[in-house]
Structure 1
Amino acid sequence: MAAYTIENEKLSVTIDAHGAELSNIYDKENDRELIWQADPAFWNRHAPVLFPNVGKYYGGHFTYNGKAYPMGQHGFARDTEFEQIAAGEDFVTYRLCADEESKKKYPFDFVLEITHRLENNRLSVEWNVKNVDDKEMYFTIGGHPAFNVNILPDTDFEDYSLVFKEGIETLSYILIDAENGTALTDKTYKLELTNSKYALKKDMFDKDALIFDNGQIEWVGLALPNGKPYIALESKNFPNFGIWSKPGAPYVCLEPWCGRCDNKGFHGEISEKPGINTLKAGEVFKKSYDIIIY
C-alpha cells in the first residue's frame, strides 16, 4: 500500500493511496498519535472518504432513470486505489476516476481529487468532484476521521468531552434505524450542553451515530479531562454532521458530510433524494474541512 507523508515542525501526517485515507497525525510536541490506528477488534479503518454516498440507501440501492443500482454503505472510494498526481513537502493530491467497473454500479463519469495540505497546526482536507459526463450526476460525500480519545495515561473515555463553539447550548440530532441503516426522521433528540461541552458517555453510541442536520456544527473538538481541546474539526457550510464511535472503543469519529443516508422508507429517484448534490455536465464541486491540533 503506497503512502505519502507530509510534515513540519509540529506534525507528521501520512495519507495512504488506498482510499486516499488519512492514516496518521503524529503530534510531535506532545508525542502522541491522534488518528485511530484501525485495530480490527473495534474498527479496521482510520479516516475513510465516503463517496459516492454517505451511509446507506434504503433497500441497499439507489434508483436512476427507473433502474436500481445496488450500493453498499459509504460507497466504493474508501476501498479503491487512488493515483497520486501531485505532492510536495506540505501537501499530496490523489485522484480517482470512473472506469467501466465503477459505471456498472454508479453510472456516472467522474473524477474525484482529494488533497491533504498541512500548514502549521492545521491539516486541510480538500475534495474536488468533477462531472466529466454528458449528463447530470448525483452524489453525497463525507469525511469519517476517527480520533484517539484515551490519549493521556490513566484516563478513561468518560474523562473526555466534546466541545462546541462558544455560546451553543443545545443541538438536535436524529438516529439511525438499526434494521436498515437509514435515518429515523420522525423523532428528534436534544444534546444538552454545559458551557458548550458534552461529557462523553460509554453508552451514547449504543444506537449508532448521532446525525446533526441543518448545518448545526461548524466546529467541534475533543477536550482533555481539564476541558482544553486537543483536536478539533472545522467544517463551514456543511449541511450534515455525524458523531460516532463503536461502543467501548477509545476513539470518536467527527464526520462532516455533504448529504447523508436515505431517510427510512425513501423510494424515489436519486435526483429526488433529500440533500443530494447535483452536478451538471462539466461542473466541479469543491469542499474542504480542517483538522486543527492544539
Structure 2
Amino acid sequence: MMFLLARHISKIFSLLFVVALLLLGASCDGLWKKEKENKAIARVGDVYLYEEDIAPLITDIMSKEDSASVVSNFINTWASKQLLLSKSKINLPVDKLAEFDKLVDDYRIDLYTRAYKEALVQQALDTTVNEEELYAFYENEKENFKLQEKLLMIRFVELPPQFLKKDAVADRLRRFNKRDKAYLDSVSVQFRKLNLNDSVWVKVSRVVKEIPPLSLENEDQYLKKSQFFEIQDSLGVYLGKVIDVLNVNDVAPLPFIRPTIRQVLLNRRRLDYMRKLETEIIDEAVKEKEFEIYEQDE
C-alpha cells in the first residue's frame, strides 16, 4: 500500500518538476505580456473580474449582440454575488460567519481527500469477483434476497393477425427441440416480437409490457409453470410457453441477482480498502514524525 502511495506522490512531484521547467523556459517578455493581457473588466471593492474569466462564455457561432448580452448578464450576476457576499460579511453575526467558514473549509478538505482516495482506489482496487465469492455470499445472505415481484422463464413470439403458419409455430414453440429452434429462426423475420431465450429470469411486469393482452390482473390465468398460451387482439397473435415461475417472497435465483451481489461485494471491498488506507497513512505519518498527539494537562 505504501509503495502505491510513494509511487503516486512521486508522479505528482515529477509533474510539478516538468511544469517548473516549462515556466523557467518561457521568456520574461512572454510572462510579462501574459500579465498585461489579463485585463480587468469589472470591480467590486477589492475583487476584480478579468477578461479571461468571461472568455469561455463566448463562442464563434455567437453574434456580437448575443456575446454582449451574455457578457453583460454574467457581469451583473457576478457583481450581485460579490456585493451580497460583502454585505453578508458586514451584517451577519461573527459566530455565524465563523460557522460558515468552517463549513467551507470542511467541504474543501473533504473534496480534496475524497478525490485523492478515489484515485488510489481506482489504481489499486481489484474489481474481479469470482463465482466462489458470489456463491458463498448468496448462500449466507439468501434470506435477504426475497423477491418483490414474480419472475418467469418464458419463450414467446408475436405474429401478425393473418400469419398463415400459426399452428406450425405453436407446435414448435411447445416442443422446442433442435429442429424446432432452427425452423423458428428461419421464419423469425416474419415475427413482430421474439424471445426464445428461456433460460433467463425476467420480471412479470416486463412480460406484461411486451404482451399487451396480458395484465397484472389476468397474468395468473396465463403465466403458470409449464403452461402454453395463445392470446389474440386486434394487433396480433401472442404465443408463449412458460418454463418456470418464482413467486413473490421466493428466494431470488443467483443468476438474477448476480449483478447486485457483485456490486455489494465490490462496495465492501472498497470500504475495507479505504479503512486500511486511512490507517496506513496515519501509521506512516507517526513513523515519520509528521503526526503526533500531545498529552493533555489534567
TM-score band, normalised by the shorter chain? Answer: under 0.3
Q: Which protein is richer in helix relative to its size?
A: 2
TM-score by length of 2: 0.18
Q: Which protein is richer in strand relative to its size?
A: 1
Greater Cα radius of gyration, structure 1 or 2: 2
